[in-house]
Chain A
Amino acid sequence: MAEVSLTTELLQYVANGIAKGSTYALMAVGYTLVYGVLQLINFAHAEVYMLGSYFAWFQAKWAGYLPDDKGARAETVPIGMVALFVAGAMAACALVGMLIERVAYRPLRGAGRLAPLITAIGVSLLLQYGGQVVFGTEPKLFPTFAETRVYDVGGVKFPNTNIYIVLTSVVLMLGLTLFVNKTRPGAAMRACSHDMRTARLMGVNVNATVSLTFAIGSALAAVAGVLVAMDQPAITPLMGVRIGLKAFVAAVVGGIGSIPGAALGGLLLGVSESVVSGLWKPVYSEAVAFVFLIVVLLVKPSGILGKSVREKV
């Protein structure tokens, strides 16, 4: 490459960051939904994401895309099959999410906020190390898209994988927003996040609604899991830890409990990480999320798009 102007370079980082940010956003929505309804930081969400990519990996294996038993020879997969894998992973993860809520969180509803938090950490550890026991500790190669193409617009490169990632995220986020705002189950979710007791008095089936919340969040995490795994082709049982923490930060930065906030937070984080790591030092990009977090928390603790709640006396 000869001359790349700073503007082009910057635009390139922004473009990459948007793709990265979309996956953060998909994850952040899961945190934000659960926090909105239960005021619980669902640490296990990151592990649901990890499971999503493993579910897709197993489907790819059964479909014959990984002939080697250890998955050492990753093949390419046509996009139709990818959609199928994503759907499968979404369904499986939705079930896992509901199961986690039923077994680990529901018995503790009303037992203060700390006990469920520690339980969430426990479930998270359980899935991480359970994943190591079941799947093995060594990274598994993940198949990539069949047609990788790179579009070049004025020097800025757009790999088609990134385009798929962004498109999928946008469609899912729009769908979710419509669902939450326009349907009856969505209204039930909003009611529960406002005031669970009153919602119950009004005839909302709270348990079903909470289950639904977990199912939706987990399904979106599964999508993020498959998309990221496709992009960086090895998966491990501990892959969720870092992205989970950052996605959660994205949710808080955007305003926890707010779906547009999660999207905004995710994008903001993805873009700034990408820019910082490109123009400065990759090590510092790891800190970007937390700097954002602290600045936002100190200036507006409820997040950029969050509603501030006044303490009642």
Chain B
Amino acid sequence: MPRTIALLMAGIVGCYGLNWFLSEFIEVVYVDYLNLIGLSIILAVGLNVVNGLTGQFSIGHAGFMAVGAFVGALASILFTYGEIAAGPLEHAGLAQFLLCLLFSGVAAGVLGVVVGAPALRLRGDYLAIATLGFGEITRILLTAQDSLGGPTGLKRIPKMPLLPGASGWDGGTSVFWIYLFVFVVIVLAVRLQRSTFGRALIAIRENELAAETMGVPSARMKVVAFVFGAFFAGIAGALYAHYQHSVRPDDFTAVRSIEVIVMLVLGGLGSVTGAVAGAVVVTLLPQLLRPIEEALGIDGLSMVVYALLLVTMMVFRPQGIFGQRELSLKLLRRLIPGRRKESP
């Protein structure tokens, strides 16, 4: 326990430092890229527990993100302004903000149980399709809610809370908050993977029948993995809402879910490092290609190149960048020649 607290403190300090450094020295555009990458990482690492570790193919991640975004946004608006009304943006209070995030995560997590418990009985492609259907239904139902703004969604979502001593782009603390959760989700995912629980999940992935014979309660475990992914998708949604200050149901189409899958497969399904790498590549690539597109004046070129790279990558390296390997100190040590110490 003390180790966990120390780790969390280190994370908070690290993210605070990152936030300070970026607000002092880096242009806002790049910070925006960085934040989008952070959100992708939270989504991808969360989904990796479901898709990569447990081998349950879910394409409904955007649905959980949508629920988290709308719950968090609504709660935050009500806490900060008391009503849905036009006006200038304000910062959310620290306690309220954390409470909103909690609401978002829990709402998405509860939905994860509701969807997961029946859907996870399905196997393979059928599960994928069912979760895809769930994601779309969520989006369409949100579009139909006039109290939540219908297709135009919620606007004037408060900014993330101020931090003592943080300045920069009008007191922007988005990097701190987003990367704090990036840190949390990565630490949790890595620990999960190395725990007995994680091994049980991997056993389900490798052979569900065999795992059950060995006493793994596969139905329950799958739901828990699913809820883990949903919880963090909800948090990512809430962070996204506070970051963009507005959310529309159409921000969370099936395309969004598929994008997260692409991140995982591209990076290497089942590897946390791969999920992070995939999130970085998939988020950054279209942005980096955009200047080329603008220089040539051809609309959609960046996406064409992106799609081409994706196909080429899959044809020549179907297991993804990292495969199931992790980037760890051990691996790094092995890559550096000489100085090899035998372990006792």
- Which residues of A are at the interface with B, using a C-beta cutoff of 8 A? 39, 41, 104, 107-108, 111-116, 118-119, 121-123, 125-126, 128-130, 132-133, 136-137, 241, 245, 248-249, 252, 281, 283-284, 286-287, 289-291, 293-294, 297-298, 301, 311, 313
- A123 touching B311 in the complex, CB below 8 Å, given contacts A137-B299, A281-B144: yes
Residue from B125, B128, B265, B301 within 8 A of A118 (CB atoms): B265
Rounded to whole angstroms, the CA-CA distance of A241 and B129 in the bound complex is 15
Q: Are A115 and B314 in contact (CB under 8 A)?
A: yes
The interface residues of chain A, by DSSP majority, are classed as: helix
10 residue pairs bridging A and B, Cβ less than 8 Å apart: A41-B129, A118-B265, A121-B310, A125-B306, A128-B303, A130-B304, A132-B300, A249-B129, A290-B133, A297-B122
| Nearest B-chain residue to A313, judged by Cβ | B209
Q: Which residues of A contact B133 (CB under 8 A)?
A: 249, 289-291, 293-294, 297
Is B36 on the interface with A (CB-CB < 8 A)?
Answer: no
Q: In the docked arrangement, what's the CA distance between A63 and B126, Å? A: 45
B9 within 8 Å of A by Cβ? no
The minimal Cβ–Cβ distance linking A66 to chain B, given in whole angstroms, is 22
* Separation of A298 and B115 alpha carbons in the complex (Å): 11
Known A-B contacts A114-B265, A133-B299; A123 and B143 likewise in contact (beta carbons under 8 Å): no
Question: Looking across the interface, which residue of chain A has its beta carbon closest to that of B124?
Answer: A113
Query: How many A-B contacts are there with CB distance less than 8 Å?
Result: 129
Report B's interface with A, CB cutoff 8 A. 57, 118-119, 121-126, 128-130, 132-134, 136-137, 140-141, 143-144, 209, 254-255, 258, 261-262, 265-266, 269, 298-301, 303-304, 306-308, 310-311, 314-315, 318-319
CB pair B314–A294 under 8 Å, yes or no, is no
Give the most central of B121, B299, B308, B315: most A CB within 10 Å: B315
Q: Is the CB of B254 within 8 A of A115?
A: no
Contacts of A129 in B (CB 8 A): 300-301, 303-304, 307
A63 to chain B, nearest CB (A): 28
A121 near B209: Cβ-Cβ < 8 Å: no
Contact of B129 among A125, A136, A297 (CB under 8 A): A297
Identity of the chain A residue whose Cβ is nearest the Cβ of B210 in the assembled complex:
A313
Q: How far is the CB of B254 from chain A (nearest CB, A)?
A: 7
Q: A119-B315, A294-B119, A301-B126 are in contact. List 16 more A-B contacts (CB 8 A).
A: A107-B315, A108-B314, A108-B315, A115-B318, A118-B314, A121-B262, A130-B300, A130-B307, A136-B299, A249-B129, A286-B136, A287-B141, A290-B134, A293-B129, A294-B130, A298-B119
Which 3 A-B pairs rank lowest in CB-CB distance, beginning with the nearest? A115-B318, A132-B300, A126-B307
Contact A291/B137 with A39-B125, A119-B314 known, Cβ cut-off 8 Å: yes
On chain A, the residues within 8 Å of B255 by CB distance are 241
Tell me the smallest distance from the CB of B175 to a CB of chain A, in Å.
Answer: 30
Min distance, Cβ A308 to any Cβ of chain B, angstroms:
11
Contact B314 A293 (CB under 8 A): no
Cα distance, A253 to B121, chains bound together (Å): 17
Contact of A287 among B121, B137, B307 (CB under 8 A): B137
A111 to B129: give the CA distance in the assembly, Å.
21
Complex CA distance for A111 and B323, rounded to whole angstroms:
13
Chain A min CB distance to B332 (Å): 28
Q: Are A123 and B307 in contact (CB under 8 A)?
A: yes
A-chain residues with CB within 8 Å of residue B144 when the two chains form the complex = 281, 283-284
Whole-angstrom distance from the CB of A135 to the nearest CB of chain B? 10
Q: Are B310 and A118 in contact (CB under 8 A)?
A: yes
Return chain A residues, CB-CB under 8 Å to B132: 245, 290
A122 touches B129 (CB 8 A): no
| Complex contacts, B134 vs chain A, CB 8 Å | 290, 294
Partner of A245, one of B136, B137, B269, B306: B136
List of A residues within 8 angstroms of B140 by Cβ: 283-284, 286-287, 290
The verdict on A252 contacting B137 (CB below 8 Å), with A108-B315, A126-B304, A137-B300 known, is: no
A128-B303 Cα distance, complex, nearest whole Å: 9
Question: What's the least CB distance linking B16 to chain A, in Å?
Answer: 37
Residue of B118, B122, B308 near A126 (CB, 8 A) is B308
Contact A122 B137 (CB under 8 A): no
Smallest beta-carbon distance A107→chain B, Å? 5
Query: Are A122 and B307 in contact, CB atoms less than 8 angstroms apart?
Result: yes
Q: In the docked arrangement, what's the CA distance between A18 and B227, Å?
A: 40
Chain B residues, CB < 8 A from A114: 57, 265, 269, 318
CB distance from B67 to the nearest CB of A (A): 15
**Which residue on chain B has the smallest CB distance to residue A105?**
B315
Q: Enumerate chain B residues within 8 angstroms of A136, measured Cβ to Cβ.
A: 299
Q: Which of B123, B129, B132, B300 has the most CB of A within 10 A?
A: B129
Interchain CA distance A245-B140 in the complex, whole Å? 14
Given the complex, which residues of A lie within 8 Å of B124, measured CB to CB? 113
B253 to chain A, nearest CB (A): 9
**How many Å from the CB of B164 to the closest CB on chain A?**
44
Known contacts: A122-B310, A126-B304, A291-B137. The answer to whether A112 contacts B129 by CB under 8 A is: no
Q: Which of A123, A132, A290, A297 contacts B136 (CB 8 A)?
A: A290
Cβ of B307: which chain A residues have Cβ within 8 Å of it?
122-123, 125-126, 129-130
**Hey, which chain B residues are within 8 Å of A311, CB to CB?**
123, 209
Residues of A within 8 A of B143 (CB): 283, 286
Q: Which of A107, A115, A121, A133 contacts B258 (CB 8 A)?
A: A121
Give the residue name and chain of the B residue nearest to A124 (CB). B307
Report the Cα distance A41→B303, complex, angstroms: 22
Which residue of chain B is the closest to A137 with respect to CB atoms? B299
Residues of A contacting B318 in the complex (Cβ-Cβ under 8 angstroms): 108, 111-112, 114-115
CB neighbours (8 Å) of A116 from chain B are: 314
Give Cα A129–Cα B129 distance, bound, in whole angstroms: 24
Q: Please measure, in the bound complex, the distance between the C-alpha atom of A116 and the C-alpha atom of B314, giving whole angstroms.
A: 8
B265 in contact with A133 (CB, 8 Å) = no
Give the distance in Å from the alpha carbon of A249 to the alpha carbon of B310 in the complex.
25
